[in-house]
Structure 1
Amino acid sequence: MSKIFLEDVKIYAYHGVLPEENIIGTYYILNAEIHTDLWNAAESDDLNDTISYADINDIIHNEMKINSKLLEHVAGRIIAKIHESFEQISYIRLKITKTSPPMKGEMKGASIELEKSFLLGGSAENN
């Protein structure tokens, strides 16, 4: 299996249930794992035979600009948009960490992770 990873993408955004989260904002760290066949690109050295991780990064940044109450909703949108743009993807796992959640105690962050498998041809299975 071939994989593309985007690791520790740091984005300032405004998500949360509390009103102040949508005003103040915080940093989010995103990690994506994408499964697709990369062997044509390994042989051809041609960008047209792969999925540009720059394009995936653009999708992540654009979707993070859209405020949501729940990180699950943000992750679901990102996964859907990535797959809509690249139907040759068979699996996506996305982890989003809110670095400063408004909760008691000291912590590195609070995270959610969604993953989805896709049958090649367009339909999907949730994992």
Structure 2
Amino acid sequence: MITIALHGAEFFAFHGFYPEEQKLGSKFIVDVDVNFTPLKDLKEDKIGNTVDYEKVYAIVEEQMRKTAKLIETVAQSIVDEIKVQFSFADSIRVSIKKMNPPLKGKVEYSNIVISEP
């Protein structure tokens, strides 16, 4: 099994339960891990035999542009789209950190993780 990973991808987006969050926006950090068994021999040296992390980044970028109240919704959309484009993925893990969430005290980030086989 092979894992491709993107960690620390930064986005400014407008996700949040409160209308103010959807107006002001916030910084988010996204981590994605995709475990898979190659379709063919990797010695063929072809991008089609693996999970293309450039495409994974494009999926994340696209989903981060779609405003949602819950970052869980965004993470699930990322997982679902990766499954569509890379049906041979064995498992997918997506973590989204919301930096400086609007809480009463200082909090570096809130975090959700969705893992699916």
- Pairwise CA distance, 1:43: 1.3
Q: Retained in 1: the 8 A contact 2:39–2:88?
A: no
Count of aligned pairs: 117
Which residue identity is paired with 1:27? K
Distance 1:2 1:39 in 2: 11
- The match for 2:100 is 100
Deviation readout 1:17-72 (Å, 9 max, x if unpaired): 11110000011000011011248463122112112100000000000111110111
- The match for 1:114 is 114
Tell me the TM-score normalised to structure 2 length.
0.94
Stretches of structure 1 that go unaligned for 5 or more consecutive residues are: 118-127
State the Cα RMSD in Å.
Answer: 1.3
Distance 1:88 1:38 in 2: 8
Quote the sequence identity (%): 28
- Name whichever of 44-53 and 108-117 sits farther off: 44-53
- The match for 1:67 is 67
Q: Retained in 1: the 8 A contact 2:101–2:108?
A: no
Q: Retained in 2: the 8 A contact 1:15–1:70?
A: yes
Structure scoring higher RCO (CA < 8 A, sep ≥ 6) equals 2
- Name whichever of 99-108 and 9-18 sits farther off: 99-108
Q: Retained in 2: the 8 A contact 1:12–1:28?
A: yes
Q: Following superposition, which runs of at least 4 residues in structure 1 exceed 4 angstroms of deviation?
A: none
Are 1:29 and 2:40 an aligned pair? no
- The match for 1:13 is 13
